[in-house]
């Protein structure tokens, strides 16, 4: 069992070795731990920081972490071996400590494996899909094996020629009435399953998404999910008819196990099609059961979790960049001293909007998670709210990954050349956020889905009478008067809500006036539709952050700091869509110029003494950051030199290629 000690912060003020960084920490106007507890604390909080600290300490205490070089120095094969071994140890350790709650377990194995748990798709999508889509009988048979890792699976959906467009998947499962089996094939090169995680070298089962053909070979009965063994459980060798391997090298997924899979007449028993929502009988007749909307559950939960994940990735990047900026000196001030780069307004302009946005992200995620819990975790799923959850989670996933990608890149630039080292930690975070712009739905596609939902809402505005107070679309039902000036924080929210409403109304009118087909209308206006979705998501994030600021206002020490962050987020977001606000006569160009040129830098100055404590409050362990630049103690240069000296190529006094070149030169003389 997890001990109840070790719930306190990882570091104390006097762990700080760099004097500049110490000065920053001493200048804070609030207590970091108090803020951490406010945002991430409490057993009912999603983040449950105290428990998290216990788990993190347990994970890092294991001796296996001292047995290998920094992972950037491992070659592809060693890298993979280390992570597979760590993943298995993590599972055993979690068992030993009795960590069974799925979220806590997920954290533990992730921390244990340096964020690279090899069986993440097994414990999330594979298990979850079995639990929701397998029949009771199937669950009884498959789940114990899967939960005990005797079989390890992944989710094989994406094909080489087909991404998010499921309807066009080519992999086929043809029912053979004579043998009571399905015959599985990837009939073309573009049908090759391509990208599934852990498929290339690790899993022995897949859940295969395939077009079902029954009873007629020529007419598909739609997409179904099949439970398919691909490797021998004893030898780990691919089974007959199964061709598989690792795809070519990816950035960001250095982990190295995205696979490809080709199937040649592989047969599986009829009862290996997941049968909770549909089944095929012995005569080959296809039957539907249950509500197919249940299918969305896994996808929705995944998307919500991604929003937490992206917020954490960005929080790591800004922690690193901010701390480094409080250590690094550059340029000369009139006193003849070098300036701390965090004192440059241009550096603040890069980093302060990022930290403000990051706090906004956490509050937006918390709101989304509450909505998810309300809809999916109740005794009966609230189907009528699913479309809202789908729209908001799609839009937020797109927004957070793309803004996160952008800001993490800015953090890289803010760290100058050293930010470019893998040892900075930032480039890896940037790659992960970049990947997030594409997986689980391309951002452009997701934004359009949000837009479709919003336009449907606009067409039904008169019909609905009651509405949840917390609903993200509530403002669309009221007539908000735009504020003439910005005095209260709520004025920003109202400005954004007016803008969103006006954009939606005008688009809705334009679409209903148009005579074109729905497809053509949407296609022709797709660029604007994406813009309108973003505008809506901005209201959601701003309103969620506003609620957080109101709660914080009860805390004298950091209440005002939250207000300052809110100002920064609101103005920064607003200026990036200035044309909207001006064109819709919500603000004048002069007002925006004032906000951007005077209010924003003024907020930077007010926030200046608290910038380090604001990132300290994210409460990362140094091992999680794995960054020479972002260490809590500020010993940046020592860490960079140490990491350089560890580079395995430096074991050669003279690199072998030079020895042979020198040899060749000599023998020619």
Q: Which residues are catalytic?
A: 440
Q: Which is nearer to a second copy, 287 or 666 (CB)?
A: 666
Helices 296-325, 386-414: crossing angle, 10 deg rounding = 20
Q: Which helix (H) or strand (E) holds 135?
A: none
Q: Which helix (H) or strand (E) holds 607?
A: helix 600-607
Q: Which helix (H) or strand (E) holds 423?
A: none
- Is residue 658 exposed (0-12), middle (13-18) or buried (19+ Cβ within 10 Å)? exposed
441: how many CB neighbours lie within 10 A of its CB? 22
How far is it, in rounded angstroms, from Cα 430 to Cα 313? 8
- The tokens for 284 are 């080959």
State the nearest-atom distance from the C-beta of 55 to a second copy, in Å: 25
User: Do the Cβ atoms of 252 and 431 come closer than 8 Å?
Assistant: yes
Report whether 416 belongs to an annotated binding site: no
State the nearest-atom distance from the C-beta of 165 to a second copy, in Å: 5
The pair phi, psi for residue 221, each rounded to 5°, is -100, 10
State the nearest-atom distance from the C-beta of 250 to a second copy, in Å: 5
- The tokens for 41 are 């604390």
User: Do the Cβ atoms of 322 and 316 come closer than 8 Å?
Assistant: no
Q: Which is nearer to a second copy, 63 or 656 (CB)?
A: 656
State the nearest-atom distance from the C-beta of 552 to a second copy, in Å: 28
The pair phi, psi for residue 583, each rounded to 5°, is -60, -35
How far is it, in rounded angstroms, from Cα 51 to Cα 459? 46
Helix (H, G, I), strand (E, B) or coil at 158: coil
Q: Which is nearer to a second copy, 79 or 107 (CB)?
A: 79
How far is it, in rounded angstroms, from Cα 569 to Cα 399? 14
State the nearest-atom distance from the C-beta of 202 to a second copy, in Å: 8
State the nearest-atom distance from the C-beta of 312 to a second copy, in Å: 21
Q: Which is nearer to a second copy, 80 or 475 (CB)?
A: 80
Q: Which is nearer to a second copy, 327 or 392 (CB)?
A: 327
Report whether 319 belongs to an annotated binding site: no
290: how many CB neighbours lie within 10 A of its CB? 11
State the nearest-atom distance from the C-beta of 449 to a second copy, in Å: 12
Q: How far is CA 612 from CA 28, 205, 323, 324, 332, in A?
A: 8, 47, 6, 10, 23
Phi-psi region of 519 (alpha: psi -120 to 50; beta: other; left: phi over 0): alpha
Q: Which is nearer to a second copy, 382 or 646 (CB)?
A: 646
Supply the Cα-derived Rg of the chain in whole angstroms. 27
- Of 150, 109, 363, the closest CA to residue 236 belongs to 150
Q: Which is nearer to a second copy, 108 or 194 (CB)?
A: 194
Helices 489-513, 559-575: crossing angle, 10 deg rounding = 30
The residue written with tokens 């937490």 in the block is: 308
Contacts 24+ apart (CB under 8 A), 658-666: none
Annotated binding site for FAD: 158, 197
Q: Annotated binding residues, as ranges? A: 158, 197
């Amino acid at each position: 069992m997890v001990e109840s000690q070790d719930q306190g912060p990882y570091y104390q003020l006097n762990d700080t070795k760099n004097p500049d960084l110490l000065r920053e920490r001493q200048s804070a106007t609030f207590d970091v731990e108090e803020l951490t507890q406010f945002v991430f604390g409490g057993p009912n909080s999603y983040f449950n920081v105290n428990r998290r600290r216990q788990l993190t300490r347990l994970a890092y205490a294991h001796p296996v972490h001292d047995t290998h070089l920094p992972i950037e120095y491992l070659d592809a094969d060693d890298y993979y071996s280390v992570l597979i071994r760590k993943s298995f140890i993590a599972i055993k350790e979690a068992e030993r400590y009795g960590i069974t709650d799925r979220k806590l377990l997920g954290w533990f194995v992730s921390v244990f494996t340096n964020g690279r748990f090899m069986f993440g798709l097994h414990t999330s999508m594979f298990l979850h899909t079995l639990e929701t889509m397998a029949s009771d009988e199937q669950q009884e048979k498959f789940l114990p094996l899967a939960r005990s890792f005797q079989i390890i699976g992944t989710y094989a959906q994406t094909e080489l020629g087909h991404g998010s467009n499921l309807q066009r998947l080519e992999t086929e499962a043809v029912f053979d009435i004579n043998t009571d089996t399905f015959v599985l094939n990837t009939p073309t090169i573009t049908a090759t399953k391509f990208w599934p995680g852990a498929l290339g070298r690790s899993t022995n089962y897949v859940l295969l998404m395939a077009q079902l053909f029954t009873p007629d070979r020529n007419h598909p009965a739609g997409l179904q999910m099949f439970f398919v063994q691909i490797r021998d459980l004893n030898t780990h060798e691919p089974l007959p008819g199964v061709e598989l391997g690792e795809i070519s090298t990816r950035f960001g997924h250095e982990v190295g196990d995205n696979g490809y899979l080709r199937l040649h007449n592989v047969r599986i028993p009829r009862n290996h099609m997941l049968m909770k929502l549909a089944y095929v009988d012995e005569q080959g007749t296809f039957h539907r059961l249950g509500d197919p909307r249940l299918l969305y559950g896994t996808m929705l939960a995944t998307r919500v979790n991604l929003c937490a994940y992206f917020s954490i990735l960005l929080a790591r990047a800004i922690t690193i960049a901010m701390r480094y900026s409080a250590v690094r000196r550059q340029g000369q001030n009139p006193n003849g001293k070098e300036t701390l780069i965090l004192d440059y307004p241009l550096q603040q302009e890069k980093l302060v909007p990022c930290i403000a946005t990051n706090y906004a992200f956490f509050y937006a995620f918390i709101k989304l998670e509450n909505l998810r819990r309300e809809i999916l975790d109740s005794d009966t799923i609230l189907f009528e709210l699913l479309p809202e959850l789908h729209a908001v989670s799609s839009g937020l996933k797109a927004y957070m990954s793309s803004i996160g990608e952008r800001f993490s890149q800015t953090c890289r630039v803010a760290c100058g050349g050293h930010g470019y080292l893998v040892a900075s930690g930032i480039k890896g975070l940037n790659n992960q956020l970049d990947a997030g712009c594409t997986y689980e739905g391309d951002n452009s596609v997701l934004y359009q889905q949000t837009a479709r939902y919003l336009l449907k809402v606009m067409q039904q505005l008169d019909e609905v009478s009651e509405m949840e107070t917390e609903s993200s679309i509530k403002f669309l039902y009221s007539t908000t008067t735009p504020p003439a000036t910005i005095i209260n924080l709520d004025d920003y929210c109202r400005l954004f809500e007016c803008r969103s409403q006006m954009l939606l109304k005008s688009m809705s009118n334009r679409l209903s006036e148009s005579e074109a087909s729905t497809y053509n209308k949407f296609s022709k206006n797709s660029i604007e539709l994406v813009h309108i979705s973003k505008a809506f998501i901005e209201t959601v994030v701003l309103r969620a952050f506003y609620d957080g600021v109101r709660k914080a206002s009860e805390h004298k020490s950091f209440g005002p700091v939250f207000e300052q962050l809110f100002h920064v987020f609101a103005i920064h977001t607003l200026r990036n869509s200035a044309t909207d606000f001006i064109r819709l006569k919500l603000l004048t160009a002069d007002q925006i110029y004032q906000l951007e040129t005077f209010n924003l830098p003024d907020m930077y100055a007010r926030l200046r003494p608290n910038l380090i404590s604001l990132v300290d409050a994210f409460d990362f362990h140094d091992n999680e950051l794995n960054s020479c630049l972002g260490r809590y103690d500020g010993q940046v240069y020592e860490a960079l030199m140490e990491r350089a000296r560890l580079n395995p190529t430096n074991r050669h006094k003279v690199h072998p290629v030079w020895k042979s070149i020198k040899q060749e030169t000599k023998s020619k003389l």
